[in-house]
Structure 1
Amino acid sequence: MTTESTSHAADIEAIGRLVATVEHSQQTKDPEEFLGLDAIAEFTRRVLPAASWDGKVTYEVVHVLFIRPDVAAVKIRQRYLAPGEESEGAPLYVISKQADGRWLLTACQNTGVVAN
């Protein structure tokens, strides 16, 4: 993982925990565990339980860019692993630090990675 500064070590650790929670919610297809704003939560409750993948999904924080001390852009490597097949996504999360110190998803975008 790369960042523009090591002065945000505690925030980067908290962001890593947030991404691990997203990873777990994807693995278990649990929309209630997926953290974020109401619009993201509503979308996730509708889509995640009916997700079509079988197998395991993993998330890895690749890069963190602090836009402000309380806003970060987080690049993720997302891998879906199923017997006999594998696919990859490249999510970008914009997350914001709340007054209570928690980092929450604010905007999310995912792009599929096409294998060569």
Structure 2
Amino acid sequence: MTTESAARTTDIEAIHRVVAAVEASQQAKDPDAFLSLFHPDALWTTGGGKVLIGLDAISGFTREVLPGASWEGRVSYTVTHVQFLRPDVAAVKVSQLYHSADGPGDEGVPTYVMTKQDDGRWLLTVCQNTQVQKDRVHKT
């Protein structure tokens, strides 16, 4: 394995850890843990289409909705694709599924653009959370 491919593998593993931390913070309904994953200049569009620019706006929204989030059960996040745009910028496709005692619930397909910081951490920088409409069939 070359040094470059080892570094890429390390970055992919770090990206997976960030998405796992998103999942953990959502399941715990922990705004502080969730917000720690964002770049200060982040841009986030919620599943409902609300555009939040900067960590202050993301924080205000998150602190309002996350602690009282209405889903029962748990939510899972799975990385489905990582595409490096540059060595320090990655587009990450995620599958988001809410689970309840009755089985699978709502589904989302977030896209995260993550940036690698000087200290090696990957942060959420541009995020679009899209809810899957159950009445639509998608063919690829």
TM-score strictly above 0.5? yes
Unaligned runs of 5+ in 1: 1-5
State the identity %: 59
Letter of the structure 1 residue corresponding to residue 15 of structure 2:
I
User: Any residues of structure 2 matched to 1:38-49 within 5 Å, and which?
Assistant: 38-39=55-56, 40-49=58-67
Partner residue in 1 for 2:123:
104
Whether 2:69 is the aligned partner of 1:51: answer: yes
| SS of residue paired to 2:20 | helix
For 1:18-97, list aligned pairs within 5 A.
18-34=18-34, 35-36=37-38, 37=40, 38-39=55-56, 40-85=58-103, 86-97=105-116
1:3 alignment partner in structure 2 = none
Q: TM-score, normalised by structure 1?
A: 0.87
- The whole-number CA distance in structure 1 between the counterparts of 2:115 and 2:61 is 19
Give me the CA root mean square deviation: 1.6
Q: TM-score with structure 2 length normalisation? A: 0.73
Aligned residue pairs: how many? Answer: 111
* Range 37-46 or range 25-34, more displaced: 37-46
SS of residue in 1 equivalent to 2:79: strand
Distance in 2, Cα, partners of 1:78 & 1:15: 16
**Structure 2, unaligned runs of 5 or more:** 41-54, 136-140
Residue deviations 1:49-101 (CA, integer Å, cap 9, x gap): 12111111000000001111111110000000012251210000111101100
Partners of 1:13 and 1:42 in 2: CA distance: 30
- The separation in 2 between residues aligned to 1:46 and 1:94, in whole angstroms, is 24
